[in-house]
Structure 1
């Protein structure tokens, strides 16, 4: 049972570390994540328990397990810290030059052109802000947002419900067929196995691979494959070398400029399908910062990727586009 305590005995750092330890279940993991020593994290937890005159964790067990009192306290602290972070973000939102810290995660699809330009733009608008940029797969970006390791993420829109963060649709990126130049076969023949070329596929653990495989199953197509890879550049290099064909997206195709002269991009035969990329953010992220990132990245993608591909491939105009 929690005892009556003076609120002045509770430190914000201690409350935040308690929340992290409760969700991670590991004192060492929290120490690594926060850059503190394990002994410092432990000291904050002990000080919090002493101030509350209650045991929040069962210290005899590993991983860290909350006591019944700890579970009640966590439920209230989750809500309180959410409101505090939201208030802090909104207080800073009026003056962008005063923003102090932004953790932004993106999928590697934007690495080469978009993110460097976005970084320059944000640094000019928020000169006093410390930036952390992280590149990873879509499911890891979503997981890091849920774990509050990122403020904003740009990734494939998650299939599950996202009540715990903001989800702004960013762009529609349709799946396309990429084949070696001058195969002499139609896209339908190639997908159906008529070209005697194997299917070069994305690694099965990737979200994009699961989308592609699901569509092929719906079409009752099971093409032979000899190569699986998690890197789009490598897949297109293999296609350019004439070793097979692949299914990718215009956004990913745009990143592989060195191979484009040796391959052809076609509309996917049959019923088309696409992925939706989104800007995701924690609910307590400053709306001004989120709007700034949103506006900047839409402009960059439109100018650097969408319009050039529309010019060279007019058939993409219907489906490859920014979502307004």
Structure 2
């Protein structure tokens, strides 16, 4: 998964290095990684849970993230409803699990913002927002790919029922199950530490700044 690789990929590889003889890493969407796992191209995947798992795939929950609304820091809007009426939305493409999830949530909440850009890469979406070209729904893990994000992006709290994204470790149900279980514990710890240090601590700093 692209966002996992960019945020904690190196930490995971460092953990694996002394224990695994050969490491073959690929990135992609949740659907692509699940397909690769099913056809035997990879042994495990860290990805978003978005569909029912095949019976031959074992799943270990890692973290669960709430979607957030982000826009350029300089925009005056403070409510999601204002953004939907006045600003262009930057969407994840509809062929990605994140795109399906976020677009469906907007529809269920009776929001219909104007969509100017549709993209399949979270980095490109965040860059456009940083340059002032729109707003989107995203999660803390995506946001940590931007150093000092709080200087560029404003987080607008969602007061309605929030959509959530579940990150899981998927693997084959084979003779390495004990190793996978230990790996899941380690990756969960890495993810929690990353989010605490580079997202939530940054939010705390912002909250303490004088208005």
TM-score by length of 1: 0.59
Q: 1:163 aligns with which of 37, 55, 60?
A: 55
Kindly tell me: are residues 267 and 163 of structure 1, through their superposed partners in 2, closer, same or farther at Cα, counting changes over 3 Å? farther
What per-residue deviation string (whole Å, max 9, x for no partner) do you get for residues 42-98 of structure 1? xxxxxxxxxxxxxxxxxxxxxxxxxxxxxxxxxxxxxxxxxxxxxxxxxxxxxxxxx
The answer on whether the counterparts of 2:63 and 2:191 sit within 8 Å (CA) in structure 1 is: no
Describe how 1:74-153 pairs up with structure 2 within 5 A: 107-126=1-20, 129-153=21-45
SS of the residue 2:47 aligns to? strand
Q: Does 1:234 pair with 2:128?
A: no
What per-residue deviation string (whole Å, max 9, x for no partner) do you get for residues 76-123 of structure 1? xxxxxxxxxxxxxxxxxxxxxxxxxxxxxxx01122241112112211
User: Which residue is equivalent to 1:188?
Assistant: 80
Kindly tell me: are residues 188 and 120 of structure 1, through their superposed partners in 2, closer, same or farther at Cα, counting changes over 3 Å? closer
* Rounded Cα–Cα distance in structure 1 between residues aligned with 2:149 and 2:128: 9
Unaligned residue ranges in structure 1 (runs of 5+) = 1-106, 315-324
Q: 1:277 aligns with which of 158, 163, 167?
A: 167
Kindly tell me: are residues 247 and 289 of structure 1, through their superposed partners in 2, closer, same or farther at Cα, counting changes over 3 Å? same
How far the C-alpha of 1:259 sits from its partner, in A, is 5.0
The answer on whether the counterparts of 1:177 and 1:266 sit within 8 Å (CA) in structure 2 is: yes
Higher helix share: 1
Kindly tell me: are residues 285 and 115 of structure 1, through their superposed partners in 2, closer, same or farther at Cα, counting changes over 3 Å? farther
What per-residue deviation string (whole Å, max 9, x for no partner) do you get for residues 186-223 of structure 1? 22333431xx2200111111100000011111111110
- The structure with higher relative contact order (CA 8 Å, sep 6+) is 2
SS of the residue 1:179 aligns to? strand
What per-residue deviation string (whole Å, max 9, x for no partner) do you get for residues 267-303 of structure 1? 2241111111111111115123202321221121122
Kindly tell me: are residues 188 and 112 of structure 1, through their superposed partners in 2, closer, same or farther at Cα, counting changes over 3 Å? closer
* Rounded Cα–Cα distance in structure 2 between residues aligned with 1:249 and 1:235: 13
Describe how 1:58-77 pairs up with structure 2 within 5 A: none
* Rounded Cα–Cα distance in structure 2 between residues aligned with 1:169 and 1:112: 20
The answer on whether the counterparts of 2:91 and 2:103 sit within 8 Å (CA) in structure 1 is: no
* Rounded Cα–Cα distance in structure 2 between residues aligned with 1:232 and 1:113: 12
How far the C-alpha of 1:266 sits from its partner, in A, is 2.4
Unaligned residue ranges in structure 2 (runs of 5+) = 205-211
The answer on whether the counterparts of 1:177 and 1:187 sit within 8 Å (CA) in structure 2 is: no
